[in-house]
Structure 1
Amino acid sequence: MYQYVGMFMVVFAAVIFVFLGSIEGFSTKGQPCTYSTGTCKPALYTALFSTASFLLGAITSLVSGFLGMKIATYANARTTLEARKGVGKAFITAFRSGAVMGFLLSSSGLVVLYITINVFKMYYGDDWEGLFESITGYGLGGSSMALFGRVGGGIYTKAADVGADLVGKVERNIPEDDPRNPAVIADNVGDNVGDIAGMGSDLFGSYAESSCAALVVASISSFGINHDFTAMCYPLLVSSVGIIVCLLTTLFATDFFEIKAASEIEPALKKQLIISTALMTIGVAVISWLALPAKFTIFNFGAQFFCVAVGLWAGLIIGFVTEYYTSNAYSPVQDVADSCRTGAATNVIFGLALGYKSVIIPIFAIAVSIYVSFSIAAMYGIAMAALGMLSTMATGLAIDAYGPISDNAGGIAEMAGMSHRIRERTDALDAAGNTTAAIGKGFAIGSAALVSLALFGAFVSRAGVKVVDVLSPKVFIGLIVGAMLPYWFSAMTMKSVGSAALKMVEEVRRQFNTIPGLMEGTAKPDYATCVKISTDASIREMIPPGALVMLTPLIVGTLFGVETLSGVLAGALVSGRHLCFQHRRCMGQRKEVQATASTRGPLAPRVQTATRRP
């Protein structure tokens, strides 16, 4: 997949260079070329720097995802072995492995962005607008790779998951991750591809976009008048403090307190969010007081501190609302589990209803954070609120990566024929990871909403759109089309998963029916064919959804102008957030219902149909 994405990266970089290189005076300063020849055009150099930053962002995202998968594959087996010593030892191994990935991703993104700014500044000097406009390519590169990583990884893992569960657990009544199932290897690989590499790229894209949005808005607002280097790099200082805070927070889970029972795992992970948010609030207050000039401050604290803090605490609220709707300790998941008694229809109805309902409080939290941060510092405040929500990204990634690591550790225990006690311990780790993983994704979705609004504000400011009037026919047409785009995108990805899953189910059935001795365990299944089905599907099916996202703004802007494009972006921003929140809760509920339904009494009998395949 990275080979195909690499080809796209090169082609799109060439497109960026050609388009930006054809624009005279891309920098609003309109500075002449500072080189000794005096004949080069600033637009060409801006195109060169923007293209370079795009490639840096894309490569950083790809490297982070690749190294995350390497970390996870080493951690899977080590967690399984540590589970022999107890659930506490296995928890420490899994959590520390997730923390390594979190620190790797957040620190690499920060250091590459900081070095890029300093190198580009040698050419731009005090032209902060031109400098930070060229830096926006970094966020575009990161989010582009996140798009393909999320879509491709999701198609891979869900196709394998459906094939392994429907045929293995449902039809053949064999345990999950049983080595007799031909799709189990693809399923375990998919956890790393989708939940490690895909999620890492997703959060990296949000971090890169929020940082670039804050830098761009600062350069074109009243906050950028003095062009003080430390103040202009305030967004990077916030991220730096976040890494230190997350490092201290990790010690509470692995060194200061000991996990002795499975029931202590989920509270320990939730405490990570609370402790990191509290420490980060103090850290942001200190760095705001030290780094920002006096004119940035109100009531002896930086105005930007309040913007970062409101995003930080809004993220915590979103996380706990997610935990309420996806944990089997609360009524929503229990109600969905109870609905399974009467069959799949009522189960789907309850699950969708609660998924829609779970959107309410997170949307209000985002709305309040937008209002407060905008009142304090306009669009710059919104960008800083988004960065505040992502400031504890290392802890969020540690919690999120912990889940698939524990899941695969259980798969290894099952396939290796280890004691059932080890599988029980890894299942306990995985059960806690299901809910906390949904919490981490809530942070990503909430921050993406704020980042999108900040980038939208930067776009309309630079494009010369003074007012986005919804009563204008051009804007309203863009609104309804933009609101439709997330559903179009979701339909394409769901259809892709369905097509791949169909092939996977047929292949698993074929092997069970045609390979003698497979069910008895005397023959070995053909794992490679199932892996190839998921791999080919993820590569082939990720192209149309990716093209829809990447080409829509270019086509709309070229054919219908910036007014219609602003409507498209606004419509997609609003409908996309609701759809993402609802989808995330449904996914979290699904995993918890699987763990809960068996304890809620007898379920409806499976219906045998005449059309069922042999």
Structure 2
Amino acid sequence: MDSLIYLAPIAGIIALLFAYYKANKIGKVDVGTERMKEISSYIQEGAMAFLSREYKTLIVFVAILFVVLGFGIDWNTAFCFLVGATFSALAGFFGMRVATKANVRTANAAKESGMNKALDVAFSGGAVMGMSVVGLGLLGVGALYLIFKDAAVVTGFGLGASSIALFGRVGGGIYTKAADVGADLVGKVEAGIPEDDPRNPAVIADNVGDNVGDVAGMGADLFESYVGSIISAITLGFIAFEFNGAVYPLLLAATGIIASIIGTFFVKGKEGADPHKALKMGTYVSAIVTVVVAFFLSQYLLGTLKPFIAIVSGLVVGTIIGQLTEYYTSGEFKPVKTIADKSETGSATNIIGGLAVGMLSTALPILMIAIGILVAFYAGGGAANVGEGLYGIALAAVGMLSTAGMTVAVDAYGPIADNAGGIAEMCELPGGVRDITDKLDAVGNTTAAIGKGFAIGSAALTALALFASYTQAVELDKIDLTQPTVIVGLLVGGMLPFLFSAITMEAVGKAAFSMIEEVRRQFKTIPGIMEGKAKPEYKKCVDISTAAALKEMMVPGLLAVLAPLATGILLGTEALGGLLAGALVSGVLMAIMMANAGGAWDNAKKYIEEGHHGGKGSEAHKAAVVGDTVGDPFKDTSGPSINILIKLMTIVALVFAPLFLQMGGLLLKLF
């Protein structure tokens, strides 16, 4: 039975080999004209330069936390933390490098061969990111568990993954939205030029931002959810079913990798067909294969189908949340059309409508998550066996993320298609090319919204599973709400997502202000720029976004680490439990509201641009652009970053649990 564990790192290696195969296949696709090469080189150089500078900045943080873990906990945990941080960075690097190669090749494939080939190239680029995420994640967790045979030590790997993920998500979100807001407000609203117009100085920074925010950022988000869910399931599984309980989530994740690889071969488009159907087919095939194998694994390893039911509940909840997200953010449905209607009367009513949709959109996903938790808990063991019940919740998170290879691939496909459209516009390719890339991009907007919903749902279940692991680690049977320290923890925890969002929103505002000033300056001072006779200074806009992102990402990242440490040391383990509970409740609600409001504003603008309510240039369009600009940091900076905030704080609590048991509640001991 021990030999089964080796299947986990082996599956991780298979995923990385498949990612290499896909990357090599993309490299053989023709890039296109010299102008296409030039534009794509600007995007690739900007993206890789940002990633390089970001990782160099984070080396100091990683080194300090490595030493703290070594002396404060133990050096094995510190080593796992270092491996987790490195693997998370590598996943972002691999995915970004290939995504910035795939974008121009997608545009050229659309020009030379049509929809089917363009879809294949864009999706293959996303698949590299997806397989890198699950490959490095399972290889790391599986190998480290084989080495140390201790889930408590392996939690260090999750801490490393979460730390890099938060900085990557916040930094990438600030970068992309500073560029996007500057490009939209000055280019579209003030100058009246189209999106992705090469005359706009911020257009390259905007396209770079799609990669650093939506490829590397989303990949890092789901990487740490994936890793965190497996680690919590190993921890709780050993308590519930001993060794076999720890092996089960590893084998389930290995199955998900193979299922995702199989699913990629079902993503095949046809000329004139809806590419969304092809992407859904791959997702459904992956899920079905995983469910079938999970059924037999549950019976074989654990002798009961209760864990299997918990896994299915996670998959079902994830799917439903994705569909609900699509309903609230797609231009095909009533919520977005209502926002577009309200744009007729100006920016204020557009923004009121978007906020209302965002708030309304929290109800059903929260109910679905609640139902999923209850099903997983009572299927696992319920009140009669709390340990198995908590294990069921952890397995629900693993089930939701078991096909993360396919989920990330479909999500990362979106920004590649978006970049392809931008390159087609800047290189003045034939109209038919832009029609194809626009269709791919429209599907990408939907998959991105679904991906954000999926990330939020998985964050809630993963954080809850990690919280359950924390309560076991500190031997906390209950949290007493009559204790003032617990109430303090709840209130501070509930406040943290708001403070975190305020800091990140303000960071986008500052960076966007600098970007707007620079774009205005170039329009005014560079003769011939509006006539297309002079080349904008793209590099200056890229530098503004990069500098702002690196400067502003540090405070939110440190907040997520220091808040649970300070609470646990000063007020004790029960108060820290209150902090984590408060952050989980307000954080999930904030994340759903911000992601869906932002997505709805974005697609309301696109709906108007399709010709409704007067189309481009109308008063309704101008109002919708303002709403979209407000929604940009909602959906791409603050909202997605909250997912990682709640998980990072929980895993910090779990990793430092021995320290809190030894010296927690220092402040209380003074009285």
Relative to the length of structure 2, the TM-score reads 0.81
1:58 aligns with 2:85: yes
Q: Quick one: distance in 1 between partners of 2:265 and 2:175?
A: 34
2:539 maps to which of 511, 517, 528:
528
Return 5+ residue gaps in structure 1 as ranges: 21-46, 122-130, 608-614
Amino acid at match of 2:619: A
Q: Do 2:307 and 2:392's aligned partners in 1 also have CA atoms closer than 8 Å?
A: yes
| Bigger Rg, which one | 1
1:604 maps to which of 619, 642, 647:
619
1:115 maps to which of 143, 165, 171:
143
Amino acid at match of 1:71: V
After superposition, residues 449-598 of structure 1 pair within 5 angstroms as 449-598=460-609
Q: 202-211 or 99-108: which moved more?
A: 99-108
Q: How far off its partner does 1:370 sit? A: 0.8
Amino acid at match of 1:144: S
What SS does the corresponding residue of 1:601 show, helix, strand or coil? helix
Q: Quick one: distance in 2 between partners of 1:470 and 1:424?
A: 58
What SS does the corresponding residue of 2:267 show, helix, strand or coil? helix
1:361 aligns with 2:375: no
Q: Do 1:338 and 1:600's aligned partners in 2 also have CA atoms closer than 8 Å?
A: no
1:260 aligns with 2:275: no
1:16 maps to which of 57, 66, 69:
69
What SS does the corresponding residue of 1:253 show, helix, strand or coil? coil
1:138 maps to which of 139, 144, 157:
157
1:76 aligns with 2:109: no
Aligned residues with identical type, % of pairs:
49
1:307 aligns with 2:310: yes
Corresponding residue of 2:254 = 240
After superposition, residues 243-392 of structure 1 pair within 5 angstroms as 243-254=257-268, 258-261=269-272, 264-290=274-300, 292-294=301-303, 297=304, 302-375=305-378, 376=380, 377-392=388-403
Q: How far off its partner does 1:243 sit? A: 1.2
2:187 maps to which of 147, 168, 175:
168
What SS does the corresponding residue of 1:73 show, helix, strand or coil? helix
Amino acid at match of 2:131: F
1:204 aligns with 2:223: yes
Q: How far off its partner does 1:100 sit? A: 2.1
Q: C-alpha deviations, 1:376-409, integer Å up to 9, x for none?
A: 2321111110010001101111111111000100
Q: How far off its partner does 1:479 sit? A: 0.7
1:222 aligns with 2:240: yes
What is the alpha-carbon root mean square deviation over aligned residues? 1.4
Q: 1:274 to 1:337 in 2, by over 3 A?
A: farther
Q: How far off its partner does 1:273 sit? A: 3.5
Amino acid at match of 2:376: S
Amino acid at match of 1:304: P
Amino acid at match of 2:141: L
Q: Do 2:133 and 2:223's aligned partners in 1 also have CA atoms closer than 8 Å?
A: yes
Q: Quick one: distance in 2 between partners of 1:600 and 1:535?
A: 36
1:404 aligns with 2:404: no
Corresponding residue of 1:194 = 213
Q: How far off its partner does 1:528 sit? A: 1.1
Amino acid at match of 1:604: E
1:448 aligns with 2:442: no
2:132 maps to which of 87, 90, 104:
104
Q: 140-149 or 337-346: which moved more?
A: 337-346
Q: C-alpha deviations, 1:188-245, integer Å up to 9, x for none?
A: 11111011111111100101111111111223x2322xx35xx422111111111121
Q: How far off its partner does 1:252 sit? A: 1.8
Amino acid at match of 1:601: H
Q: Do 1:452 and 1:573's aligned partners in 2 also have CA atoms closer than 8 Å?
A: yes
Amino acid at match of 2:298: S
Q: 505-514 or 337-346: which moved more?
A: 337-346
Corresponding residue of 1:34 = none
Q: How far off its partner does 1:452 sit? A: 0.9
Q: 1:591 to 1:268 in 2, by over 3 A?
A: farther
Q: Quick one: distance in 1 between partners of 2:270 and 2:500?
A: 42
2:201 maps to which of 174, 178, 182:
182
Q: Do 2:130 and 2:409's aligned partners in 1 also have CA atoms closer than 8 Å?
A: yes
Q: How far off its partner does 1:270 sit? A: 3.3
Q: Do 1:110 and 1:239's aligned partners in 2 also have CA atoms closer than 8 Å?
A: yes
Q: How far off its partner does 1:434 sit? A: 0.4
Q: Do 1:312 and 1:385's aligned partners in 2 also have CA atoms closer than 8 Å?
A: yes
Q: Quick one: distance in 2 between partners of 1:264 and 1:222?
A: 46
Corresponding residue of 2:14 = none
Amino acid at match of 1:452: A
Q: Do 2:321 and 2:365's aligned partners in 1 also have CA atoms closer than 8 Å?
A: yes
Q: 1:471 to 1:272 in 2, by over 3 A?
A: farther
Q: Do 2:357 and 2:600's aligned partners in 1 also have CA atoms closer than 8 Å?
A: no
Q: C-alpha deviations, 1:321-357, integer Å up to 9, x for none?
A: 1111111111111111111111111111111111111
Q: How far off its partner does 1:424 sit? A: 2.0
Q: Quick one: distance in 2 between partners of 1:117 and 1:601?
A: 58
1:159 maps to which of 178, 182, 186:
178
Q: How far off its partner does 1:88 sit? A: 2.3
Q: Do 1:136 and 1:216's aligned partners in 2 also have CA atoms closer than 8 Å?
A: no
Q: 505-514 or 451-460: which moved more?
A: 451-460
Corresponding residue of 1:41 = none
Q: Tell me the matched-pair count.
A: 556
Q: 84-93 or 159-168: which moved more?
A: 84-93
Q: Do 1:182 and 1:530's aligned partners in 2 also have CA atoms closer than 8 Å?
A: yes
Q: Quick one: distance in 2 between partners of 1:155 and 1:293?
A: 46
Q: How far off its partner does 1:455 sit? A: 1.2
Q: Do 1:157 and 1:534's aligned partners in 2 also have CA atoms closer than 8 Å?
A: yes
Relative to the length of structure 1, the TM-score reads 0.88
Q: Quick one: distance in 1 between partners of 2:295 and 2:471?
A: 31
What SS does the corresponding residue of 2:274 show, helix, strand or coil? helix
Q: Quick one: distance in 2 between partners of 1:389 and 1:566?
A: 25
Q: Quick one: distance in 2 between partners of 1:324 and 1:251?
A: 28
Q: Do 2:201 and 2:538's aligned partners in 1 also have CA atoms closer than 8 Å?
A: yes
Q: How far off its partner does 1:271 sit? A: 3.6
What SS does the corresponding residue of 1:233 show, helix, strand or coil? helix
Q: Quick one: distance in 2 between partners of 1:95 and 1:592?
A: 22
Q: Do 1:273 and 1:316's aligned partners in 2 also have CA atoms closer than 8 Å?
A: no
Q: C-alpha deviations, 1:171-204, integer Å up to 9, x for none?
A: 1111211111111111111111011111111100
Q: Quick one: distance in 2 between partners of 1:100 and 1:528?
A: 28
